Each structure stands twice: as C-alpha cells, then as structure tokens.
Structure 1
Amino acid sequence: MNDQLPTAFDQALAAAVRAPSPHNTQPWRFVVDGDAVEVWLDRDRVLAVADPAAREARVSCGAAVLNLVITLRVNGLGARVRILPGAALPDLLAVIGLDGTRRSTEQDRGLAEAVHRRHTNRRPFADRAVPAVARARLKSAALSEGGQLEFLDASGRYPKVAALVRRAESLQAEDPAFRAESAFWTGRAAESPDGVPTVAFGPRYEIPGVVCHRASHTNPAVPSRAFEQDPLLAVVLTRDHGAAADVRAGMVMQRVLLTATAEGLAASFLSQPLEVHGIREQFLELFRGLGQVHALLRIGYGHATRMTARRPAAEVTAQRAEPDVPAV
C-alpha cells in the first residue's frame, strides 16, 4: 500500500462516521484490511425496542458506506462496493475496495463537501415550497444509487402517512420500554460524542397534530414555534427487501440527504411508523407496488442548527491482524 492510501482512508473514515443514525447511536465498526474497508454492524448500538430487527441500523451503516465512497472518489480513487450480509456473517454489511484511480466530478466534490455540513434539523422549516428542479435532483440522486424517492404530496398517501406518524408517536409515548430507551440516548450534553444533545432538539410546537419532530426531541427551554403545516414528506424505497436492501437503502438515502444539503435544503426523519409493530405493516401497505420503504423524510428550507458530535473514526476502526480472520 503506497503512502497515499492511509491518508485517503483516514479522510474516508472520518466522513463515514458523519452518517446519520437513530438517536445518533452510530451502530457501525470498520476494519481496514489492506486496500479494503469492511463495514460491520455494531449490535451493541442497535435500539432493542425501536429497531429490534436492526433495519434502521443497517440503513445507517449504508449511509456511512456512501460517505466513505464519495470521499475516496474526491481523492482520485475508484471504489467498488460489495454488499454482503449473509447467513455466515450477518453483521459484515459491506466491503469497499479500491478500484484504480478516477477523476472526481463536480458533483462528487459537492457531495463530499456536504458530508461535513449535513445534519438532522428538528426545527421549523419555512413555508416555502421546494421547487421542481430541486425535487428532480433529489429523485435523480436516489435513482443513481439504485433506489427511489417518492414525494407524498403528489399522491393521496399524505394524510394517511401523517395519521400513522401521529398514532405511532402516541403508542411510543405510552410504552415505558421505548421511553426508557429514548431517554438513555437523548438529552445529552452538547459535547457528548454520541446520542442527541438537548441543544439539537427542536422547540415545542404551537399547534398540536403537526408532523415535525418526535415529542421526545423537544427542548422545553426554547420558546414554542409554529412549524410548517404541510411539510414536504418523501419516502426512500428499494425494489427488494432484506438486510442487503437495508444497506443499499442507506446509500440511497444518504445521497438524497447530501444532495439536499448541497441544494440548501434541510431534512429530518420521521421514523415512528417504521418502529411500531402493527403501524409498520399499515405504513408499508400504503406503498405496496412501489417497493420497500426504508425511511420517511421531512424536507424543506430551514435555519442552520447545531450539529451533533461523533465518535472519532479511530475509536471505531480496527486493522486486520491476519488475513481472513475477522477483527471484530
């Protein structure tokens, strides 16, 4: 391995850990094996109540894969991705190997720059429509990674989805186990390397029933604010389903989020209907025929908010000690 590679890998891994994850749990581990990086699911950081099947955790790891690949590309390195979860090693999600050199594009550079600016925005968005050209770019971003982005305001699904978000939120609020899990990961100090600090919470909403952030992500010290009444909602889909599709969906979702950041847009997650048994089935049924839904996003124009911290890449990365022997 020549002298360029450690620097390129260091930058790529620093970008990988900037990926989003539920409650900023950061459910990933990386192993550098020669000219390749393995991405492993960290079971200790999977939300046992909200995400018992680790679907959201695998999506997060897929987002980390996309950040890593984009950063290698802007350093002039080609990257090939193998998505690998299987029966033998179900937590080995992907291997990213170097594939010669390549000239980075202006789009690559824009996305790589957005990696370190993208963050979840739980605050009110402006009542300003996202223009058709920006929507087209977001849809194109999803397609380029083999997925699909479906905006809900163009269909009759919007009120049904909004109702399921509210119902799931209500059921989670009544669940002591969910509340305890959420409390463990949220309300942390601003400098916390994981979890969601209180400073990243949104304000109380003035009008009940709006679709915005989780009630558990409300900062009582911030004056209440009016949220947009009809936020732009979109779902991330893939044609297939299962563990490999979750990883692929994370790459799709992250390219959408990075494209949104590059377009000056903000985004947050509405994961509640995917986390509650019974509600999840109703939610997925709404999109039967389109594909498997992996994420529900709220997109719009928002004011800058504080970014949450991440654990250093070195803390979650190991070197392969011997060939063909897993290091995690």
Structure 2
Amino acid sequence: MTRYDSSDLRRAAAAGLQAPSMYNSQPWAFRLRDGAIEVLADPGRQLTIADHGGWALRLALGAATFNARLALAWAGTPAEVRLLPDTDEPDVVARLTAAPHRPPTYTERDLYTAIERRYSNRHPFWPDPVPADVRVRLIEAARVEGAWLDLLVGMTALTGFSEIAHSADRVLRRDQRYQAEMITWTDTESDSGGIPVAAAAAVAEAQDLIPQRNFGGRRRAPGRDYEPEPLVGILGTAGDRKLDQLMAGQALQHVLLTATDAGLSSSLISQPIEVPTARDQLRRSLGRSGFPQIAFRIGYGQPGHPSPRRDVADVLVG
C-alpha cells in the first residue's frame, strides 16, 4: 500500500499555503497521519466578524486542498481526496490518501507551475478581451470540481452585478466592528498574514463599476479609472453545506490557476456573498437555483504584488 511521507507532506503544505484566503488570513494547517495527509482548519485564524459562519474559511481550505492535490500529482503520487472525513474531528476538512503512482498529466503540470504565479491583482486590468476558448476552459474547470461558473457578458449584466456589489459594500462599510477587524489585517508586510499596501487597490471612487476594499489608502493617478467593462465570474454550487463550500474552494482554485496559466490576472469580490440579502439578489439575477459562493474579476494586466505567506514549518502540526 502506498503511503505518504514527510517530504510529501512538506510538498503538499508548501503548495497549499499559496491558496487565496480572505484578508490573506491563511487559516490552515497540514499533518501526516497513518500515511495520509490531512488538511485542517486553524480556528484561531478565522475572521470572527467578517466570517463568523466559516464560509470564507472553508473556501480557503478547499483552495488549499486543491493546491495540495496538484503538488502530489506533480510528484507522481496523486491523492484520493475525502472531504470532511471524520465527524469526531470537525477541524479535519480533507484527507488525502495516496493513490497508485503515475506520471502527472499535462494539465496537472501546467496548473502546478501556476501556483506560485497566482495572486490577487487588485490593479486595473487592460481592455483586452478574454478569448472565448479561455472562457470555456474556466467554465470547465469549475464543472469538473462539482461547481458552476457564470461569466457576465455585456453592460446589462455587469450593471446589475455592480448595483448588488455596491449595495453590499455599503452595508459592510457601515459596520464599525467589521471595518475594525479589516484594519487589523491591513498595511502589513508580516509573513503571518494580512494585505500589504503594495498589494492593495487604490482608494475606490464613485464611478467605479466594481467596489474595492480600502486596504491601504493609496490614491490612483489622475485619469486612471478601473476597467469600464471587466470580465466578472460568479462561482457557485448546488447546495450550501460545509461540504459544498469546500468543493467551491477547490473549484475556485482550479479556475484561478487555469486563468493564471492562460496569462490572466484575477482578484476576488466577496462583498455580495457576505451580505445575505445581496447574495440572494445575486442568485436571482443569475436565474440560478443554487448558491453563489464567490465572485471575481479576470483580465490581462501588469504584474501586481503578491501578499506574504507563512513559512511551511508554521503550518505543519503533529
């Protein structure tokens, strides 16, 4: 029987900690148990105000699980993944058991090499359209992970999304406890997490189509509005259980890495998901019976600034 060892664990963890997380909170840990690699939630890094229900935590953990899967497959030791494997240990969100050795597929190799190049780029994107064949690849990446992806095309759809997103953003801006928590994760260069100013968007302006969080207070150059017609994606799942949210995290990372492999940048838009009434409006606007789990913008742009990550040793537990 094939078993993972400590070198496999470090490889999986090094890839997993590159996943996206709300405010770059990095709420994960990894351990080796009985020859399997487990992905665990780190409750101490869950956002108590912005994510009191754990939705963003589970999306991040799903994304980290997908990265770990890729790292193991790249090394020729693919994993069989079981989500929420043990009801007695709710912090264990995924168990990766070694499958028979095989060479990585071309897709696995391409996506693995994209892991370190993927980060949230909050700067304006260029007006170049995303090609149709790439859009198809993004939709398929979500589908194979059990999720759906709607790409908003045309100003009618974008304007409707903009209204929902700005409405949700206003609700969150009025919540003083929410804003205070966000400030604690802002303007930091610490490897322990948070968003450095260099990785933040410029201060939002009234004419912007998509709301931006104020992570740094930087003013944009005159005449530099954000893209007037961005490509916006809405990723969702049929259900909204903890399992669905972990699946959504895996799907999100598969989509983002597919975009990165195609030379695209991306950044997440979570405000319409965080506010329940906005999320329901978004669902109805899409004509979907499922649940939107995250929104994001995709496009071509100049290189941004990745947020720092913790050291591998800091996310390994016994």
TM-score calculated relative to the size of structure 2:
0.93
Q: State the Cα deviation string for residues 214-249 of structure 1 (Å, max 9, x = none).
A: 2x1354265352210121111111222200010011
Q: 1:263 is matched with which residue?
A: 262
Indicate the larger mover: 43-52 or 180-189.
43-52
One-letter code of the match for 1:122?
A: R
Aligned residue for 1:109? 109
Q: Which residue in 2 is equivalent to 1:136? A: 136
How far did residue 157 of structure 1 move? 4.2
Deviations 1:147-185 (CA, angstroms, capped at 9, x unpaired): 221112269543222111111111211111111011011
1:322: which partner in 2?
A: none
| Residue 220, structure 1, aligned to residue 218, structure 2 | yes
Distance 1:89 1:245 in 2: 18
**Structure 1 pair 259–292 and aligned structure 2 pair: CA distance change class (3 A):** same
**2:252 matched to which residue of 1?**
253
Deviates more, 1:168-177 or 1:252-261: 168-177
Q: CA deviation at 1:140?
A: 1.4
For structure 2, the 5+ residue unaligned runs are none
Q: Secondary structure of the equivalent of 1:81?
A: strand
Q: 1: CA distance between counterparts of 2:49 and 2:13?
A: 29
Q: Deviations over 1:74-123 (max 9, x none)?
A: 10012000011775433221111111211111111110000111000000
**Distance in structure 1 (CA, Å) of the matches to 2:38 and 2:8:** 15
Q: Which amino acid aligns with 1:275?
A: E
8 Å contact from structure 1 (residues 63, 253) kept in 2: yes
Name structure 1 gaps, 5 residues minimum: 320-328
What does residue range 279-290 of structure 1 map to in structure 2 within 5 Å?
279-287=278-286, 289-290=288-289
Aligned residue for 2:297, secondary structure, equals strand
CA distance in 1, matches of 2:77, 2:186: 38
Moved more, 147-156 or 42-51: 147-156
Counterparts in 2 of 1:157 and 1:226: CA distance versus 1, 3 Å: closer
State the alpha-carbon separation in 1 of the partners of residues 284 and 48 from structure 2: 24
Q: CA deviation at 1:7?
A: 2.3
Q: Partners in 2 of 1:113 and 1:200 — Cα distance? A: 22
Is the 8 Å Cα contact of residues 9 and 31 (structure 2) preserved in structure 1? no
What TM-score results when the alignment is normalised by the length of structure 1? 0.90
SS of the equivalent of 1:318 reads coil
1:46 maps to what in 2?
A: 46
- Alignment partner of 1:95 is 2:95: yes
Kept in 1, the 8 Å contact 2:204–2:212? The answer is no
1:302 maps onto 2:298 in alignment: no
Partner of 1:27: 27
Q: CA deviation at 1:59?
A: 0.6
1: CA distance between counterparts of 2:111 and 2:266?
Answer: 15
- Do the aligned partners of residues 3 and 64 (structure 1) sit closer, same or farther apart at CA in structure 2, a change above 3 Å counting? closer
- For the residue of structure 2 that corresponds to 1:187, the secondary structure is coil
Question: Residue 142 of structure 2 contacts residue 252 of structure 2 at CA under 8 Å; is this kept in 1?
Answer: yes
Partner of 1:188: 188
Corresponding residue SS for 2:61: helix
Which residue identity lines up with residue 119 of structure 1 in the other structure? Y
Distance 2:304 2:99 in 1: 37
Q: Distance in 2 between matches of 1:67 and 1:314?
A: 17
Offset at 1:142? 1.1
SS state of the match for residue 47, structure 1?
Answer: coil
Query: In angstroms, what is the RMSD of aligned CA positions?
Result: 2.2
SS at match of 2:182: helix
2:241 is aligned to 242
CA 1:212–1:218: 2 relative to 1, 3 Å = farther
- Which sits farther off after the overlay, 156-165 or 10-19? 156-165
Range moving further from structure 2, 61-70 or 307-316: 307-316
